[in-house]
Amino acid sequence: MDSLTTQRILDTANIVDVVSDFVTLHRRGVNYVGLCPFHDEKTPSFYVSPSKGICKCFSCGKGGNAIHFLMEHEQISFHQAAEWLAKKYGIPFQAREFTDKEKALHRERESLFITNRFAADFFMENLSTERGRAIGMSYLKNRGFRDDIIKKFELGYCPDNGTSTADTALAKGYNRDSLIKTGLCYQKDDGTLRDRFWGRIIFPVHSLSGKIVAFGGRIMKQDAKAAKYVNSPESIIYSKSNELYGLYFAKQAITRKDRCFLVEGYADVISMVQSGIENVVASSGTSLTKGQIRLIHRFTNNITVLYDGDKAGIKASLRGIDMLLEEGMNVKVLLLPDGEDPDSFSHSMGATRFQEYIDKNQVDFIRFKVKLLMEEAADDPISRSNLIKEITQSISVIEDAIVRSVYITECSQILHVDEQLLINDVNKRQREKYSEAIKTTPAKSVVTDMESAQPDTVEQNNNNTDNSGEQPQGNSIEKLKSDIRALKRAGYELIMKKERLIAQYLVRFADKEFCYLEEEEQSLTVGEFISLSLENDNLELQHPVYRRILELYRENCSTPGFISERFFLSHPEEFISLTAASLIEEPYQLSKMFSESSTPAEERLFELTTHIMTDYQFEIVRFEIDKVMKELQNPETANNPETLISAQSRYKTLLAARNELAKKLGDRVVHL
């Protein structure tokens, strides 16, 4: 894939539209903001700039253009993300050659997705067979599911002879290994394949982007020895702790309603959607995980957990609700009448009455927990003591101090316990939590990876390899990390920070006019001035990424229609485009004299660029002076007259250069 194709994709793609498929965004001025999908957070710090075509989290630093966002979010390569956008926007896409490793992984993933797609179609078709209608469709109709809902959720039926899925798939040429790896089939001791879901109603599990990653199967026969539900095992495309049943269909409704209803099973979700309540998902019988909570939190802060009257089941799930509180979510609980579950109750009530019931009966989780445990504690002092500990445990995980204070006061009144006792216990639990966190958090070394070497977005996304098909000058991501660590150890940290400003101006303004040369009757651009300044002083940028940016500028600046910002942001070398996105979003870091000026930077390019290059030269000279001073302090130098004279001469020359540069800079030093 060439850079022109990448540019066309990024010019066409609306980054707000792309990001909105996965994150709830709210307009804030000219930009949009939402919860970062790449790390746990409770306060939105993920910004999307439609004018610049980039996104960035100001907490974890991840972001970039639309391609980078998809790469990180879907854990796919640069090429795959570009292809995804090309298909979305109808752009012709010329595939490039994958590496052998990429080819193998891509083939395996695609094979599993294709196999799951075949299986879903096969199961749906079997609902229309005579036996499928008699067993599968009959069951679904008895549950009250409409045809449109059955079609929407792609429900199906697996024949009960035990090998239909395997036999049909193999006859159609599907891969035997894929049938096993998806969990659709398992291999018996004699080598034959057996259907995992035979004789069951099938509930496909969709990923956030709509691909089928797994299946759940409900048994039709009354068999005490067989599990009521069987689910797909985990695979390279399915992790049950990071999936929620129904979220693909519910995400827009969750955003619209700013609330998510959490239920337990597949049928609960489907029944509520059919009744008109679409913002509902299920944990599918598994204990709630942080990964699942993060999925919900991307779309809303508000969650209502629906319970039937089974107190044992409620108590078992209380830990999951503590996790919701810990993640900063506003949690409410709805207890359904005895004998009812979300499936049956939604059928009997209908959408309007069910929604009214929810609004009237959902209660705050802390109040719900107090009431639930008080009923058990009664007048037993030991049980009552345990109740108080349970409540303070839940309150202690809430990070908002005001919310904690409100809950403590309210619980003090309900439980008739001195408020200070509750405060002390909550504080004790928080201290224990922080102490444990400190013990389990390894100390960070001074230089551990690219993030600590230089704060580029590309360097914070170092798990992704360069997918352009070419490694610039033999530099792999690992080599870049190693080079930067070595530079920091050698004392080049300040120099690299100055180089970051140079790189920022190359990306932002390289094609803009620096000055007009009257004698030659032509303009000199910012990029040309930076390049010539470095050449004339025989200087080379030390930071490998910034050096590559300068090299790419020199190679492409004469190309007709060259626009630096567009060129670097859409460059197919991942670490270049990611760094460009970071530099574009990053504010200019200049001295107070410059930053207080009301004139935009774009209108002061001669003054600012000259200052940046002079300041860089000053830092280089200062660095060289430090080296010479260390050399002069070395006893070996003092004992060698020739070496000593040479070092003293260089020191004198460098001091003169430093003084001259200092005069040019005055007090206008660049602060970083």
Concatenated DSSP letters of 192-249 = -EEESSTTEEEEEEE-TTS-EEEEEEEE-S--TTS-SEEEPPPBTTB-GGG--BTHHH
What residues contact residue 22 under an 8 Å CB cut-off, 6+ apart? 37, 73, 208, 298
Q: Residue 37 maps to which CATH number?
A: 3.90.580.10
pLDDT at 476: 56
Q: How far apart are CA 286 and CA 245, in angstroms?
A: 11
Residue 167, pLDDT score: 95
Would you say 258 and 302 are in contact if contact means Cβ atoms under 8 Å apart? yes
* 495 lies in some domain: yes
Check residue 671 and report its DSSP letter: P
DSSP track, 276-334: T---EEE-TTSPP-HHHHHHHHTT-SEEEEEE-S-HHHHHHHHHHHHHHHHTT-EEEEE
Are 428 and 459 members of one domain? no
| pLDDT number for residue 465 | 37
Range of the domain at 14: 3-88
Of 205, 238, 271, which marks where a domain is finished? Answer: 238
- What's the CA gap between 144 and 275, in Å, rounded? 11
Angle between helices 3-12 and 78-88 (to 10 degrees): 50
Instruction: Supply the pLDDT for residue 62.
Output: 84
Same domain, 564 and 629: yes
Domain co-membership, 519 together with 607: yes
Return the bridge partners of 376, or none: none
What 3-state class would DSSP assign to 587? coil
Report how far residue 562's alpha carbon sits from residue 193's, in angstroms, rounded to the nearest whole number: 59
Q: How far apart are CA 534 and CA 530, in angstroms?
A: 6
Give the residue among 550, 457, 436 at the shortest CA–CA distance from 502.
550
All residue ranges of the chain with pLDDT < 50 are 438, 441-475, 589-595, 667-672
pLDDT in tens, 50-59: 888 889 888 8
Report the C-alpha gap between 58 and 55 in whole angstroms. Answer: 10
Q: Which domain-ending residue is among 440, 462, 483? A: 440
Whether residue 153 is found in the same domain as residue 227: yes
Q: How many domains does the chain have?
A: 4
Residue 208 resides in a domain = yes
DSSP state, residue 450: H
Whether 517 is covered by a domain: the verdict is yes
CB 214 within 8 A of CB 250: no
Residue 669 identity (one-letter amino acid): V
Which residues does 160 contact at the CB level (< 8 Å), separation at least 6?
131, 135, 198, 199, 220, 221
The confidence score (pLDDT) of residue 549 equals 93
Whether 469 and 600 map to the same domain: the answer is: yes
Residues 507 and 604 occupy one common structural domain: yes
Q: Is residue 275 part of a domain?
A: no
pLDDT of residue 436: 66
CA distance 36 to 61: 10
H helix intervals, 470-563: 477-489, 493-509, 526-536, 544-556
Regarding whether 514 and 401 lie in a shared domain, the answer is no
Domain assignment present for residue 18? The answer is yes
Q: Is the domain of 420 the same as that of 497?
A: no
| The two three-digit tokens of residue 274, written as one number | 């059919």
pLDDT number for residue 453:
36
The total number of residues shown for the chain amounts to: 672
Cβ atoms of residues 615 and 493 within 8 Å: no
Domain end, chosen from 88, 119, 139, is at 88
pTM of the model: 0.60
Rounded to whole angstroms, how far apart are CA atoms 506 and 543? 14
Q: How much is the pLDDT for 435?
A: 65
Per-residue pLDDT of 36-49, as tens digits, reads 888 777 888 899 98
The pLDDT of residue 644 is 85
